C-alpha cells in the first residue's frame, strides 16, 4: 500500500503544476472558484478562538501575489474562516493580525484534484480504465505525471516503489480501478531511469 494522496499543496507548487501564476490562483480564490488555506497559531476573535488550518480570503492579502514582483513579501492577515464554517472571524489579538507570506498559502489536496477534474487540466479520460482513444493506457499522461512527480517530490526510493505509485495513479484515474501490469510500466519507465541515472536509495 502506498502513501495517501497529498493533503496540501503550496500555491507555488499548484501554479507550477497548472502552468499559471500565483496571481491567477489568488484571483480564482477571490471569486470563489477555489479555496485557499494557511496554518496559524491560536488567535482571539471576539469571544472565540481560531487556530490551525483555516481558510483565508485572497483579496485581503492580494498585494503579495503581484506578478511584477513589486509587492511586499508579507501581509497581515486580519480575518480567517475555520474550515467547515460559514462565518469569517476577525482577529482581535494580536491586534496586528498574523504575518503571512505567499509561501504560507496552500490549497487542500482534494480541492486541487477537484479543480483539475472540473477543468480537465490533464485530459483525464472518464470513459474507462485510463484508456486513450486507441484503446491503450494513456502513456502520454503517465509521462506528464512522471515529470510532475520528479519536479514536486524528487525521485522515489526504488523502481518498484515508483511502479506501484504509477499503478495507483492509473487506478485512481480509471472508472473501475484498472491499471497496467508491472512489466508494461517498467518498459516505459526504464528510459527515464537511465536518463536520470537513477540509483535506488539505500537509506
> Is 116 part of a structural domain of the chain?
no
Instruction: Indicate if 89 and 179 belong to the same structural domain.
Output: no
Most distant CA atoms of the chain, gap in Å: 61
Tell me what the mean pLDDT of segment 36-56 comes to. Answer: 97
Residue 117 in domain: no
100 shares its domain with 36: yes
pTM exceeding the 0.85 threshold for the entire prediction: no
Domain boundary among 75, 110, 145: 110
- The answer, yes or no, to whether residue 130 has pLDDT greater than 60, is no
DSSP state of 19: T
| Owning domain of residue 154 | 126-195
Residue 125 has pLDDT above 80, yes or no: no
Distance, in Å, from the CA atom of 200 to the CA atom of 138, rounded to the nearest integer, reads: 26
Q: At which of 82, 110, 138 does a domain end?
A: 110
Boundary residue ending a domain (77, 110, 143): 110
Amino acid at each position: 500500500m502506498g502513501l495517501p494522496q497529498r493533503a496540501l499543496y503550496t500555491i507555488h507548487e499548484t501554479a507550477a503544476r497548472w502552468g499559471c501564476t500565483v496571481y491567477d490562483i489568488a484571483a480564482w480564490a477571490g471569486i470563489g472558484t477555489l479555496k485557499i488555506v494557511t496554518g496559524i497559531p491560536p488567535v482571539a476573535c471576539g469571544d472565540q478562538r481560531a487556530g490551525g488550518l483555516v481558510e483565508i480570503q485572497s483579496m485581503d492579502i492580494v498585494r503579495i501575489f503581484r506578478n511584477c514582483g513589486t509587492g511586499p513579501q508579507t501581509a497581515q492577515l486580519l480575518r480567517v474562516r475555520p474550515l467547515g464554517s460559514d462565518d469569517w472571524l476577525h482577529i482581535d489579538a494580536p491586534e496586528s493580525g498574523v504575518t503571512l507570506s505567499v509561501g504560507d498559502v496552500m490549497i487542500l489536496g482534494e480541492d486541487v484534484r477537484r479543480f483539475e477534474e472540473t477543468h480537465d487540466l490533464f485530459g483525464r479520460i472518464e470513459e474507462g480504465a485510463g484508456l486513450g482513444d486507441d484503446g491503450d493506457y494513456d502513456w502520454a499522461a503517465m509521462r506528464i505525471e512522471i515529470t510532475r512527480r520528479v519536479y514536486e517530490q524528487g525521485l522515489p526510493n526504488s523502481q518498484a516503489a515508483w511502479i506501484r505509485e504509477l499503478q495507483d495513479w492509473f487506478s485512481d484515474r480509471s472508472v473501475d480501478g484498472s491499471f497496467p501490469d508491472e512489466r508494461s510500466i517498467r518498459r516505459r519507465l526504464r528510459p527515464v531511469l537511465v536518463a536520470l541515472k537513477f540509483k535506488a536509495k539505500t537509506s
